[in-house]
Amino acid sequence: MRILFISFFTFFSSVCFGQFGTIKESLVIPSKILGKEVKYSIYLPHGYEETNGYFPVLYLLHGYTDDDTGWVQFGQVKPIADKTIASGEAPPTIIVMPDGGVSFYINSHDGKVLYEDFFIKEFIPYIESNYRIRKKKEFRAIAGLSMGGYGSLIFSLKYPDLFAAAAPLSAAVWTDEEILKVPDDRWDNFMGVFLQKGLRGTDRLNKHWYDNSPLKIVETAPLEKLKTVRFYIDCGDDDFLIKGNMALHAAMIDKGVPHEFRVRDGAHNWYYWRTALPEVLKFVGKSFTR
């Protein structure tokens, strides 16, 4: 009995108290493409500091007006990841959270802010050269909320050879009809910042829009490429972006793209995203294990 008690206590302690990851906030990478330093925060799971092992990676993108610390401060990424990994529901995973500003993670229409190029050509290579990360598609995933959900879709749909899984949460996805109905002042002060200010009516439905519309990319991209990415789409039933997410679900059904689609009780807020994060870690973790 004493031996059984000691064994149980050792296991319980390791799960509940011993397996803590570490967070490093607001580190910087110098970017030639953007012409400035870009901040990022990173979660290193328990075992990273103690071993010489290599780990899978999840790129976790923040929403509009947040920065690289959003998921750390408001999303509680560390305790959530610690608990999910310690319980065995997800494998030890490095989580990288870059500062995307208000770029929507794409190249701007005028070519002045090439965030997409930075992320693909500079950021991923930098991260995976400076940390012990397994540098294969099967060990790389991407997720994000709102603007970051949109970014996770853009990267996984445009570069399916890079990501094994994508988990957009409350993703900023709009139909063409919704774009046409956006009030002019909201367009110029919000959407025009990353698309193009001053556009009215059908002028908004230009090449830049369609090149960066998840719905259009799903429609036009090769099916066999899209099928190599595991998609997990989650949006609250009271979220103002639910229509676009439902349209994405329908577009993937029509195209024949396998995916998971969740509509849960909730709105566009951190409580919803915190409750989604454990499921994201479990979902992408299945892509990292065999």
Tens of pLDDT, residue by residue over 242-257, are 999 999 999 999 999 9
Q: Give the integer Cα–Cα distance in Å for 290 and 278.
A: 20
pLDDT-based confidence at residue 6 (cuts at 50, 70, 90): very low
The strand pair at 230-236 and 165-169 is best described as parallel
Q: What are phi and psi of 278, to 5 degrees?
A: -60, -40
Q: Give the integer Cα–Cα distance in Å for 177 and 285.
A: 36
Does 4 fall in a domain?
no
Parent domain of 94? 18-173+223-288
From the centroid of its chain, how far is CA 288? 16
Total domains in the chain come to 2
Q: What pLDDT does 157 receive?
A: 98
Residue ending a domain, among 212, 233, 261, is 212
82 and 204 both lie in a single domain? no
Q: What pLDDT does 12 receive?
A: 41
Q: In the sheet where 230-236 sits, what is the strand order?
A: 22-31, 36-44, 94-98, 57-61, 140-145, 165-169, 230-236, 259-264
Q: Inform me whether the pLDDT recorded for 29 exceeds 70.
A: yes
Q: What pLDDT does 289 receive?
A: 86
pLDDT-based confidence at residue 18 (cuts at 50, 70, 90): low
pLDDT tens-digit series, residues 221-245: 999 999 999 999 999 999 999 999 9
Q: What is the mean pLDDT of the chain?
A: 93
From the centroid of its chain, how far is CA 269? 16
Tokens 């950021």 belong to which residue?
Answer: 123
57 and 113 both lie in a single domain? yes
pLDDT-based confidence at residue 15 (cuts at 50, 70, 90): very low
Does 248 fall in a domain?
yes
